[in-house]
Amino acid sequence: MSDASDDSFPASKLDRGKIFAKTGLKVGANYAKYLADRVTKGKDDGTRKRDLNTRNAQELFREFTKLRGTALKLAQSMSMDTGVLPEEFMDVMAQAQYQVPPMNKALVQKRIRDGLGAYPAQLFDAFEAEALAAASIGQVHRARLDDGTPVVVKVQYPNVRETIASDLAMARSIIKRIVKSPNLDEYMDEVRARLNEETDYLNEAENIAFFAEQYASDAVVTPQPVRAYTAETVLTMTYVEGQHLDAFLADDPPQARRDHFGQRLWDFIHEQIASDHRTIHADAHPGNFLFRTDGRLGVIDFGCVKTFPQDFRDDMLRLWRARIADDSAAIEPLLYRLDILHEGMDAAARARLRDFFDRFGSLIVRPYRTDRFDFGAPTFHQELQARFREASELRETTGSPHFVFLNKVLVGIFNLMGQLGPVIDTRRSRTLLEGTVTAL
Distance between CA 321 and CA 334 in Å, rounded?
Answer: 11
**Residue 172 and residue 254 in contact, taking contact as beta carbons nearer than 8 Å:** no
pLDDT of 202 reads 98
pLDDT of 440 reads 76
Distance between CA 337 and CA 193 in Å, rounded?
Answer: 23
Per-residue burial over 73-90, b = 16 or more CB atoms within 10 Å of its CB, e = otherwise: bbbbbbbbbbbbbeebbb
**Residue 164 and residue 247 in contact, taking contact as beta carbons nearer than 8 Å:** no
Distance between CA 235 and CA 239 in Å, rounded?
Answer: 12
Over the chain (440 residues), what is each successive 10-residue block's mean pLDDT?
A: 49 62 62 63 67 68 63 54 48 53 88 97 97 84 98 91 76 58 77 89 98 96 98 98 96 98 97 96 91 97 94 97 94 94 86 92 96 94 84 71 88 92 97 90
Q: Which contiguous run of DSSP H or E holds residue 235? A: strand 234-238
pLDDT of 432 reads 96
**Residue 157 and residue 103 in contact, taking contact as beta carbons nearer than 8 Å:** yes
Q: How many CB atoms lie within 10 A of CB 50?
A: 14
Distance between CA 331 and CA 335 in Å, rounded?
Answer: 6
Distance between CA 440 and CA 46 in Å, rounded?
Answer: 53
What is the full DSSP assignment across 40-59? HH----SHHHHHHHHHHHHH
**Residue 399, CB-side half-sphere exposure with 13 Å CA sphere:** 18
pLDDT of 79 reads 46
Q: How many CB atoms lie within 10 A of CB 70?
A: 24
pLDDT of 195 reads 86
Distance between CA 125 and CA 144 in Å, rounded?
Answer: 5
Burial class (CB in 10 A: 0-12, 13-18, 19+), 92: buried
CA distances, 380 to each of 111, 358, 373, 421 (Å) = 46, 16, 10, 11
Q: What is the largest CA-CA distance in the chain?
A: 69
pLDDT of 267 reads 97
